[in-house]
Amino acid sequence: MIEKIITKVIVLLFITSIASVYADETLISESPEGAKVYFIEPQNGDTVSQTFRVKFGLSGMGVAPAGVDREHTGHHHILVNLEELPAMDKPLPANDNIIHFGGGQTEAELTLSPGKHTLQLLLGNHLHIPHNHPVISEKITILVE
Ligand SMILES: [Cu+2]
């Protein structure tokens, strides 16, 4: 009797652990090998005016708006002055340091205070979760006049 219960508990635990792993995996989208996101403009070391244009470059993948689940696509995020990278298996938060372009934009206008700033691009899937593997650019440093 006790053996039967223990077996049932073990089977249940096994099923729930599989279910949770499966759920997580379905939320994360695969990125094709060699996919790259990069800044077309500005470039590392550039001096820009307070309001400036940022052009996002993407190769090996396509852009789709947030909410649209299409294979090998995502939307852009700019990480502004972010020292520590966010979790790569959860939806990216939206705040002053993580700007979402869920409309599928491929360029944007940013306004920053004068001084040095760092920018980094990170692609997110339809649920704003980075891909596996994450498609992330080099971190560039710019000087705002
Ligand atoms: Cu997003």
Rg (Cα) of the chain, in Å, rounded? 20
**Which CATH code of 2.60.40.10, 3.30.365.10, 3.40.50.1100, 2.30.42.10 fits the domain covering 36-144?**
2.60.40.10
**What is the distance in A from the centroid of ligand 1 to the CA of 107?**
14
**What is the distance in A from the centroid of ligand 1 to the CA of 4?**
47
Q: Please list the ranges in the chain whose pLDDT falls under 70.
A: 1-25
DSSP strand pairing (36-41 vs 51-59): antiparallel
User: To which residue do tokens 């995502």 refer?
Assistant: 74
pTM of the model: 0.83
**What is the distance in A from the centroid of ligand 1 to the CA of 53?**
19
**What is the distance in A from the centroid of ligand 1 to the CA of 97?**
12
DSSP H helices, 1-145, are 2-27
Q: Where are the domains of the chain?
A: 36-144
pLDDT in tens, 66-91: 999 999 999 999 999 999 999 999 99
